[in-house]
Structure 1
Amino acid sequence: MSASTRPTRLFASALTAVALLAGAACSSGDPEPDAATAAGYNLTADQNRITTDEVPEIAAKVPQAIRDRGTLIVTGSAGTAPPLRFYADDDTTLIGSETDFAYLIGDVLGLDIELTAADWAQNFVRIDSGEADTFISNVTVTEERKEKYDFATYRLDSLAVEVKKDSGITFDGPKDIAGLKIGVGSGTNQEELLVQWNEENIAAGLDPAEILYYQNATDYYLALGSGRIDAYVGPNPSSAFHAIQSGETEVVGTFSGAGADLQGEIAVLTKKDNGLIVAINEALNHLIENGTYAQVLERWGISSEAIDSSVINPPGLPKKPA
């Protein structure tokens, strides 16, 4: 499957499921709602986004080069992870909670937002090279990443184990991955956790899990549906959204993206010490205070991942033992 067809097919599948859910919710005498706005989700390119006013005293803290340019360049995933970051029905416009937060930050800072998309690892490269100013795409704070990047938190990090409906698979902890074929995104913190759990299980005499790697949501949906994998571990918002939309999978367990001893947090990532993170942190706290932050979470069904305040560089997922 070519990269250009993936967003369209994912979106078409999502729309079909939304339409079915909406139809079931209507009486026979009611008009059927537009599939693109059913079930509370606006999946069209015309997002009617939540907006807020510029705050000059926060905007003044943006580095001068970015202020002069007038644009904040935001990179993120390639657009197949609803409700976080995915393509609208025009197969071109990036929408979702992560893009909504990017635009709100731009509002506070008085900057236009330029959204770009790349595979996961390439987003870090874009930050390193200065091609992008921020990486806003479900990025977990880790101690290793903090050596190269600054973070301003804006959401809790919850991961989910998604399986085919009626598979009989349950998840209460790391031992439950033993013997399974599990899909995960390469280079993610969930991959790191799975590898760690697998090593611990093997040391305890349990069957090893087979970990398989996917870069696009459509790829693991197909693998899960066909039985090539038993489970997929990814961001809880995306798994919960997909389970509802498809009607073919279910979430059987959730856990912190930072492991058992720490609640993981999702954050805006910038290049370390480039002077941008303070302005972004203050912008996020302003959004929390004025209520627009909560509106975005509610709009995309992820209010359970709200935080009370944005923090710069909190404790992150620990580094692997040397």
Structure 2
Amino acid sequence: MSTAITRRTAAAALGLAAALTLAACSNPDDGGTTEVAATSGSKTRINISPDQNRITTDKVDSIAAEVPQEIRERGTLELVQSSGSAAPLNFQATDNKTLIGVEPDIAHLVADVLGLKPKFHAVSWENIFVGLDSAKYDAGFSNITVTEERKEKYDFATYRQDNLGFEAKKGSGLKISGPKHVAGKTVAVQSCTNQEKLLVEWSKENEQVGRKPVNIKYYQNDSDTYLALQSGRIDVYLGPNPTAAYHAATTGKTEVVGTYSGAGATLQGLIAATTKKDSGLVKPLADALNHVIENGTYAKVLGRWGLSDEAVTKSEINPPGLPKTDQ
């Protein structure tokens, strides 16, 4: 247990560091870049134009040979991502149609190693899993957290740390690090996510000890959420920490008032490439990810999007995830 607690403490520190170091401002002169602060304090210019000049790597025949024959013969890797805009994870470039972000960049690297052409499909969050279930898509690269419940139906190959961010109106005075800090508060969250799962658990815990529950709200899109935040209809928005920090930095209207591991209090959350269970694809995905971690292209991609603090040193297959909720 002491090791797990240490991991949680480290995760909180890393998440806070990410929130503090990620800063951006739009550049009115060229419209195709924005700046984020690297961990060293220097500025990193992010290309948000449709001309991405993505980081690439070579095919590795031995890893490519591990891919199921049907996919090898097809020649494409059918990848699914959320249609919701979530910079710097996945969002549209300045042409309002080209998909860019750290998630598609990592997926491109994996496809390079496997010798496949990546083909992206943008769908609603719940339809990511519907499409994986039906084998319509080969893998999801969409900030998907490893959870024990999801492991019953899906296989995972990890590639980033998962830290959540509580975003509030700038100057709110809020500081959130546990259930008591959201008791009685109105908090927005996206449905069917591990953020929602965590918030529901916190609300139940508050009620069990005599505190007020959380007033959980759901909105159809980010613009509605942020309008509610600015108008005071909600106190906090809980989402992925990278998107919260990016939004706070680029708008100047909000701030990250707390971070938390996506896997809960005793375990560092992990983001993973997600496939249908026993599809035969998870090992080549993990091997491809470990190859790009080792050859340095993975680090370049994370650095390109200001997310070096979320790097992992190894891709793991089906590691411990967010525990199931006690019934």
TM-score by length of 1: 0.89
Shift of residue 203 of structure 1?
A: 1.2
Q: Does 1:211 align with 2:207?
A: no
Shift of residue 38 of structure 1?
A: 3.2
* Equivalent position of 2:33 in the other structure: 37
* Equivalent position of 1:131 in the other structure: 136
Shift of residue 132 of structure 1?
A: 0.6
Say whether the 8 Å CA contact 1:84–1:138 is kept in structure 2: yes
The correspondence of residues 170-249 of structure 1 with structure 2, limited to 5 A, is 170-249=175-254
Give, in whole Å, the separation in 2 of the partners of 1:287 and 1:222. Answer: 40
Say whether the 8 Å CA contact 1:182–1:232 is kept in structure 2: yes
Give, in whole Å, the separation in 1 of the partners of 2:79 and 2:224. Answer: 25
Shift of residue 205 of structure 1?
A: 1.1
Q: Does 1:321 align with 2:326?
A: yes
Any gaps of 5 or more consecutive residues in structure 1? 1-16, 23-31
Shift of residue 204 of structure 1?
A: 1.0
Say whether the 8 Å CA contact 1:97–1:297 is kept in structure 2: yes
1:153-203 superposed Cα distances (whole Å, 9 cap, x missing partner): 000100010000011211122210111110001000010000000000011
Q: Does 1:18 align with 2:25?
A: yes
Shift of residue 209 of structure 1?
A: 1.4
Aligned-partner SS, 1:269: strand
The correspondence of residues 160-171 of structure 1 with structure 2, limited to 5 A, is 160-171=165-176
How many residues are treated as equivalent by the alignment?
295
AA aligned to 2:64 is A
* Equivalent position of 1:3 in the other structure: none
* Equivalent position of 1:91 in the other structure: 96
Say whether the 8 Å CA contact 2:31–2:94 is kept in structure 1: no
- Which stretches of structure 1, 4 residues or more, deviate above 6 A after TM superposition? none
Q: Does 1:252 align with 2:238?
A: no
Give, in whole Å, the separation in 2 of the partners of 1:217 and 1:86. Answer: 12
Say whether the 8 Å CA contact 1:162–1:232 is kept in structure 2: yes
Any gaps of 5 or more consecutive residues in structure 2? 1-23, 36-44
1:203-259 superposed Cα distances (whole Å, 9 cap, x missing partner): 111122110113432221222122221100010000010000110000011110011
Q: Percent same amino acid at aligned positions?
A: 58
AA aligned to 2:177 is D
AA aligned to 1:162 is E
TM-align CA RMSD: 1.2
Say whether the 8 Å CA contact 1:223–1:229 is kept in structure 2: yes
Give, in whole Å, the separation in 2 of the partners of 1:93 and 1:225. Answer: 29
Give, in whole Å, the separation in 1 of the partners of 2:113 and 2:224. Answer: 37
